[in-house]
Structure 1
Amino acid sequence: MTQYIDPSPANFARFKDLPRDQPIHMLNLLRYRDQAAYPEGHGHAGKGWSGQRAYQEYGKTSGPIFRRVGGSIVWRGAFQTMVTGPDTQRWHDGFVAQYPNADAFFEMIKDANYQQAVVNRTAALADSRLMRFEPGEGGAGF
């Protein structure tokens, strides 16, 4: 089974080609490694952290940058079961991050401190999905 941690060049190019001046929602689906996989010599290598613990470190170290660019979490949940979809697609956590616009997302990922923090995300995840959506109206109907 193919695993996805970072965007492919083609997917990232499509993301960059979309409008940058409107709010965006980013759906994140996360499957953690049993044991975080830090590069040799990294300060957290050898600590025996779980993937979930490494992702918590990612949140702690990237959170100030995420908030500075105007990001917020609009929904968060813990996976329970697949209702429609392949049985092999199991996730530990999911959340929707909101950005005021795509430029805010780009500002975040270009930040030098964020680039240091993202090693925690990479060490944490066995698989993930990141999908961009245009925010829509909530309500009682589909």
Structure 2
Amino acid sequence: MNPIEITLQALDAAERAIPPGQPVYMLNLLRYRAYARYEGFDAAPCSGREAFHERYRPAFRRLAAGKPLVRMFSGPVLASLVGPQGERWDEAAINEYGDFAAFRSIVDTETYRREAAPHRHAALEDFRLFALAKAM
């Protein structure tokens, strides 16, 4: 299995754990490939960072149009203060959604798998995705 794939099992487990209607924040940790690696998808050569920012994000935003996606924030990871020695993330991103169902309605579609996911897979060497609740 692809270690950066968002699986149906993970979506189902998160949906059971997250109360309906609760805002959710998706924390993404991103490590880019030096060069995007497309498999079974025809695309011009580029870096992993370019594939993510210039191909994946625009495709994701098109699919998110009209959904309760409140805001997106991302930035480069400047330093690791706590974590395993040698662990490296290029960027972190937090996306806020009105609820988990809004996130799932984007990523659990054939359109996402066809138009956005190939760019994310090509771009990323490693990836973590966590669903967070707003702290009280």
TM-score bracket for the superposition, by shorter chain length: 0.7 to 0.9
Counterpart contact for 1:4–1:129, Cα < 8 Å: no
Counting aligned pairs with the same residue, the percent is 27
Q: Choose from 56, 60, 65 the match for 1:62.
A: 60
Deviation at 1:67, TM superposition (A): 3.6
Aligned residue-pair number: 132
TM-score, normalised by the number of residues in structure 1: 0.82
Partner of 2:36: 36
Aligned-residue offset at 1:9 = 5.9
> Where do 5+ consecutive residues of structure 1 fail to align?
138-142
C-alpha contact (below 8 Å) 2:35/2:45 kept by paired residues:
yes
Q: Deviations over 1:61-118 (max 9, x none)?
A: 1112224212143432211111011122211111110010011111111344322211
Distance in 1 (alpha carbons) for counterparts of 2:70 and 2:42: 28
Give how far 1:120 is off: 0.5
What's the counterpart of residue 140 of structure 1?
none
Partner of 1:105: 103
Look up the SS of the partner of 1:131 in the other structure.
strand
- CA distance 1:55–1:74, shift in 2 (3 Å): closer
Give the CA RMSD over aligned residues: 2.0
- Give the counterpart letter for 1:38 in structure 2: Y
In the alignment, residue 78 of structure 1 is paired with which amino acid?
Answer: P
Structure 2: runs of 5+ lacking an equivalent: none
In structure 2, how many angstroms separate the alpha carbons of the residues matched to 1:104 and 1:85?
A: 31
If the length of structure 2 is used for normalisation, what is the TM-score? Answer: 0.85
C-alpha change, 1:114 and 1:12, in structure 2 (3 Å) is: closer
